[in-house]
Amino acid sequence: MPSAVDPKAFGTRFRQAMQRKGHGGLGATQLAEALVSEFPEGLSVQSVHKWVNGTAVPRPDRLAVLARWLDVSEHWLRFGPDPKASNRQTGGSDRPLNAKDLARRLQALSEPQREILEALLLEFEKIPPE
């Protein structure tokens, strides 16, 4: 397991996971408010701001809560993809996506990404199922 945590890389993964879960548009204050129930001991807007901007990494106990809330692995959120893991999906869990999560992830894509995905789906439709 890596020993060093890169705050900037953490911030990028944190923003990606937030986007996937439909929280990408939240500012630090809104995000801190959304996390109130997850952190009953309190959470400062400054801490959240540092996480989002990649200038700090949360303590392990807080990171565990964030990973659960964002539905990603703690390892991925802290360090990035685990080279030993069999599941190579970025930040993914071992369970398949449900329709609601899939729709949320599709909505989070940019227009060019959606166009690429649509072209890919059209290609798959040309291949008869086995």
Q: How does pLDDT run across 78-98, given as a tens digit for each residue?
A: 998 876 664 444 445 555 667
Q: How many domains does the chain have?
A: 1
Tell me the per-residue pLDDT of 104-116, one tens digit each, with 9 for 90 and over.
778 777 888 888 8
Does some domain include residue 118?
no
The continuous run of DSSP H or E covering 5 comes out as none
CATH of the domain at 57: 1.10.260
Tell me which residue of 75, 107, 68 sits closest to 90, measured CA to CA. Answer: 75
Structural domain span for residue 15: 7-95
Tell me which residue of 33, 9, 22, 18 sits closest to 70, measured CA to CA. Answer: 18
CB 104 within 8 A of CB 20: yes
